Amino acid sequence: MNAKYILEKAPLVHAIIHLRFSKLPQIKEDQVDFMHRALMELGFPDYIPSRVFSLELDPSVDIKESMNVATGRRMETRHIFRAPGQTQLVRVTETDLILKATKYGGFEDFRDTFERVLEILEGAVDSFTKTALKWVGLRYVDLVVPSPNSSGLAEYVKPHVLPNVLTGHNMIYTGGVSFSSAETGANQSLKLVFEEVATEGRVTKVIPDNLIETDPNAVMLIQGYPWWANLTAKTYGIMDIDHQYAFADSPGYARDTVIKQINALHDVTSDVFWGSLTEKAENEWGKRKV
């Protein structure tokens, strides 16, 4: 068994498990009440009904294109249950179940919470167990902020992750974006996006644009560090690792199938994360075995 490690000062600002399934009938008020009572016991007492416009993604077309191509725009009813402190939330729609966290206690706890939410949804909405599975994703966003007096991002992430630097007559480099994708198995693909952001002396952006919450009632809080407000480095980075699996032939819902696939996604995602960091980053952020 491979050794497992954590970072004492992890740069993680967003963790997401996202399950897409075939469309449910409209979720009724009594079913929402059931979810609310059960999720309160799990630690998500704050119920937020929400309606927003959303872009639909269709991962059935091509796994490499599915993470980027929008197929439609629709008004979406979302049932959001948020934890105290606004650092975790559950989002339920007629086609999706999402668990998000900005305060992360480790993969096992995160996965186990998602499994418990699956159980609650099974009990609340009887038709959920009759749905077909479409895809499941595991996504991590890390904010790589050089500490005071460091020379910059190259001390923290390896060269293959960083964007190319434009140089030339009278040019002042202000940032860029690198994008890499890879097939990690049948119907399974991972993308890594690294956005280098000009600091303006402080952190001004913490998550990718497509994760910004459009409903002000449903926002989450991100705990920063004091030096984020007084940076000496010229740029910092947003590292976004998004790993998805499209279920072949849309099989019927089975909780064990979902959890097994989430575990498989994490194994590869973890390798990519650790393979992107320098030794200095690991030491500064407190890498240790668990």
DSSP string, the chain: ----EEETT--EEEEEEEEEESPPSPPPHHHHHHHHHHHHHHT--EEEEEEEEEEEE-TTS-TTTTTT-EEEEEEEEEEEEE-GGGSEEEEE-SSEEEEEESS---HHHHHHHHHHHHHHHHHH-GGGGGSBEEEEEEEEEEEE-PPTT---GGGTB-TTTSPPPP--TT----EEEEEEEEEEETTEEEEEEEEEEE-TTS----S-GGG--S-GGG-------GGGGS--SSEEEEEEEEEEEEPTT-PBP-HHHHHHHHHHHHHHHHHHHHTTB-HHHHHHTTEEE-
The full DSSP string for 153-170 is GGGTB-TTTSPPPP--TT
How confident is the model at residue 70, as a pLDDT? 52
pLDDT at residue 71, as a whole number = 54
> Tell me, what's the pLDDT at 62?
47
pLDDT at 67 (0 to 100) = 46
Residue 55's pLDDT is 62
Per-residue pLDDT, 65: 45
Taking the model in full, what pTM does it have?
Answer: 0.91
Q: Tell me, what's the pLDDT at 149?
A: 81
Kindly list the averaged pLDDT for each block of 10 residues, start to end, along the chain of length 290. 82 97 96 98 97 64 47 79 98 97 95 98 97 98 92 94 84 87 97 94 93 94 88 93 97 98 97 97 93
The tokens of 38 are what?
């059960």
Q: Is 41:106 a contact under the CB 8 Å cutoff?
A: no
**Is residue 161 packed enough to be buried (19+ CB in 10 Å), middle (13-18) or exposed (0-12)?**
buried
